[in-house]
Amino acid sequence: MTEVKQIMKQCPVVLRGETTLADAARILAGHHVDGAPVATAEETLVGMISENQLLDILFDLPAREAPVSDYMTRELVVLAPTDLVSRAAQLFALYAFRRLPVVEGKKLVGIVTRCDLMNYALQSTELLTEPLVDLMPELAPMS
């Protein structure tokens, strides 16, 4: 079975909590990504911020100078490098996430996007099952 570390990528953008919302929006747009992890200088993952969160705020001119840490999501769902790719598929099926941070302990080591998972599934010869069947067997097709 394939592990997350085999499909994860380095994060193209990692923001710091003190980054302003305006700068965060510029950075995300400049890198053509729609969200990013927020980490400390020691690479400890502390949150996630998305384009949708920024769009909700950036029309409020004073809020543009607020730090990302005031608006980031702090309750995170994460993967470990040794988690199976099927676990990533389950989490993407359960939640509306577009990306999942990969951590060792609390240290950010990579990211897996829905696109990474789709590319893996298309290139793999590994038998993949419906992501939620393991969690809810009643979803399995009747034979």
pLDDT digits (tens, 9 = 90+) for 110-131: 999 999 999 998 998 776 666 6
Region label for 135, one of left (φ > 0), alpha (ψ between -120 and 50) or beta (otherwise): alpha
φ and ψ at residue 109, rounded to 5 degrees: -120, -10
pLDDT, tens digit (0-9, with 9 covering 90-100), for 73-102: 999 999 999 999 999 999 998 898 999 999
pLDDT, tens digit (0-9, with 9 covering 90-100), for 11-51: 999 999 999 999 999 999 999 999 999 999 999 999 999 99
Task: Identify the DSSP state of 7.
Answer: T
Provide the pLDDT confidence category of residue 143 given band limits of 50, 70 and 90.
low
What pLDDT is stored for residue 70 in this prediction?
95
> Where does residue 69 rank: exposed (0-12), middle (13-18), buried (19+ CB within 10 A)?
middle
Q: Model-level pTM?
A: 0.85
CATH architecture of the region 4-136: Roll (3.10)
The domain ranges of the chain are 4-136
Q: Judge whether residue 136 has pLDDT over 90.
A: no
What pLDDT is stored for residue 126 in this prediction?
73
